Structure 1
C-alpha cells in the first residue's frame, strides 16, 4: 500500500523554500535596521561639535552613546564654545522624544544657546532667553539643560540648569564626590518668562566637574539618586584620570542602570 501525504502537510521542499524566504526577510530587516542605526549615528555626529574648547587650567571631554533600541536617534547633546569676552561656555541637555524631530530640535536648541550666549554672559539669562526662543518655535517639545560659563580671569565657574540633573564634583584626592545643591528652573520650552538661578563655584586646586543626561543615571528599576551616587563614586575612585578617559568611564554607568535611552557625558578637569 502506498501512503499518501495529507494535502495540508507541506513537503520538505516546501519547508526549505519557506525557511529560505524567512531567512532572506530576516536578513533584509537586519540590514535595514543597521542602515537606520548608521544613519542615526551619522546624523547625531553632525549635530554634535567636532571638538571642545581647551583652556589653560581647564580641559574638557565628552562622550555620547545612542539609544539601544529603535532608530537610535535621540535628543541628547553636549557643546562647548568660546565667548567674545574670552570666557568659555559649555552646555549639556536632552530634548524630549526619541525620533528624528527630537534630534533636529536638539540641533536648533544647541545653536540657539550659542547665539544667545554671545550677547548674554550670565548663564541664567542665557537659559531664560533660550526658553523663550524655544517657546516661540512652537515645537511642542521641551528640553532639559545645564549651562556653564568659565571665566579664566577669575577662575569662576557659573552654572544654571533648566529641569536637568545637577552636576557632580570631586576634588583632587578623590576623597569625596557630591551632587551640587544648585537650585534649578523648569525645562526649556514649557513656561514663558522664566528665571533660572545661577550658582558660582571658584575652581581652585585640582578636581573635576561632570555633567550627565538622565540616560546615564536613571533606569527602569534604578532611581536617579542611585545613578548620581554611582557617578560620584566613579569620580572619587578615578579623579586622576584624563578627562576623555573619565568621560568614557562615566558613560559606562548607563550599563549599570539598564537604561535604553541615549546618553551624554561632559567632563571638565581643572588644574592650577
Structure 2
C-alpha cells in the first residue's frame, strides 16, 4: 500500500536479490593461465625471430647448417641436435652435422660412421612429415643405437625443404627439462625449418657466385713459370663478400740476365672495373719488364706515366722486385708504390719486414720520385710479398696483424714452399673481407761443406 514500507526478510537480504551464481564469477586462475600462455607464445615468437636472424647472418654453408642445429636446440631446450643432408638421390644421408655431444661422447663414438638413414632417421627420409617420438626404442622403425651412442629416448624430427625439394632432416633429442617434445615444440621447429631452407639456398647461391668470381679472377692471374734455381709459390683467395671481384694480383718473370722479377699488386675496388684494371696493369708491366735491366723504380715510374696517359685505372699499390745474383748469394732489389713491405724469413727461421720508403701508389702523382732499395738474400731464405687482405682486420691495428703474420711465417718456415704459402693463407690474421694475394720466393740452399 502506498506510503507503507516494504517488509524486510528476517535474513537481512533484499527481497528481490537472487542468490549469487558462482559459475558466473570470473575464473581468475584460468585467465591468469591464458595470460601466461600468451606471454610464453610471445617469448617463443621472439626467440624464433632471433633464431631466424641468427641463421640469416651466416653466409658460409657449413656455418649455416651448424647454426640451424644449435638454434633449433635453443628454441626447444634440446640437449642434442643434428642435421642430416640428403644425397642428391634422396635415398640416404651424405652429411651429418651434430651439436650437443660432449668431448667424452664424441670420443665414445670415434671410429663409428655417421648415420646414413636407417631406422627412425630413415623413416623421416621416406616419410617427410614431422615426427615426434616419446620413446625412440618403441618406434616401429627403430633399429637401436650403435655401441657408445649416448642414451636418447625422445625425438623430434622435421624435414627441411629448399625450392620444394627435401634438402635434409633436422633432428632434436632429449629436452633438458626431461619432458617429451610437445606440439608447441613441433610447430616452432617447423617454422624454423622453413627459414632454414631459405638460408641454405642463399648460402648455396653465395658459394656459386664466389666460385665463379674466383674462377674469373684465377683466369686473370698467371701460372708461375719455372724460375730455377729459385722456388716460387703463390696463392690467391677471394674475399668472403658475395659478388666481390678484386684487383689483387701477382706475377713472376725469369729475365735474360739470370735475374727474376716478381710483383705483387692491389687495384683499389672490388668490382669488374678493378679486375679489368688489374689485368691491364699486369700486362703493361710485363711488357716493360721483359728484356730490360732497368731498376724497379724506373719501371714503376714508366708504368705510372703510361697508365695515366692511356687509362682511367683506379689507384693501385704494388711492389716490384728483382732477385739478382750477388756473388755466391743473391740480392733483393725492389721499389714500392704505396705497398706493404716484403717479409724476409732467413734459414735460421727468423722473420723481419724490410721496411723502407714505400713511395706513393700508382695513379697519384707521376712527378714524385720513386726510391730503390736493396737487401741481401742469404742462401735458403724466403721472401714473402702479400696484399693487405692478408693482414687487415677492422678490430686490430695493422702493426699487430703484421706481427701475427711474422710469427705465423716463423712457425711454418720448415714447410715446403707450396705448403708454406697455403699455411699463411689459411691462418692469416685478417677478417677475410678482402682479397688475398701472396707470392713467396725461396733462394737455393747453400751447398753442403765438403
2:316 match:
143
The offset of 1:34, in angstroms, is: 4.0
2:383 match:
209
RMSD over aligned CA atoms reads 2.3
The offset of 1:268, in angstroms, is: 1.2
Q: Which has the higher contact order (CA 8 A, sep 6+)?
A: 1
Separation of aligned partners in 2, 1:28 and 1:249:
31
The offset of 1:110, in angstroms, is: 0.9
Separation of aligned partners in 1, 2:362 and 2:373:
18
Question: 225, 230, 240: which one pairs with 1:68?
Answer: 240
2:435 match:
262
Question: 336, 339, 345: which one pairs with 1:170?
Answer: 345
1:236 match:
410
Secondary structure of 1:98 counterpart:
coil
Separation of aligned partners in 2, 1:53 and 1:182:
29
**Distance of aligned partners of 1:28 and 1:242 in 2 relative to their CA distance in 1, 3 Å threshold:** closer
Unaligned runs of 5+ in 2: 1-161, 165-193
Question: 50, 59, 70: which one pairs with 2:231?
Answer: 59
Unaligned runs of 5+ in 1: 1-18
1:16 match:
none
TM-score, with length taken from structure 2: 0.52
Separation of aligned partners in 2, 1:120 and 1:152:
13
Is the 1:44–1:73 Cα contact (8 Å) retained in structure 2?
yes
Structure 2 counterparts to residues 82-161 of structure 1, below 5 A: 82-118=254-290, 119=292, 121-152=294-325, 154=327, 155-161=330-336
* Corresponding residue pairs, total: 251
Separation of aligned partners in 2, 1:29 and 1:132:
44
**Distance of aligned partners of 1:37 and 1:259 in 2 relative to their CA distance in 1, 3 Å threshold:** closer
Is the 2:227–2:254 Cα contact (8 Å) retained in structure 1?
no
1:188 match:
362
TM-score, with length taken from structure 1: 0.84
Q: Does 1:77 align with 2:249?
A: yes
The offset of 1:223, in angstroms, is: 1.8
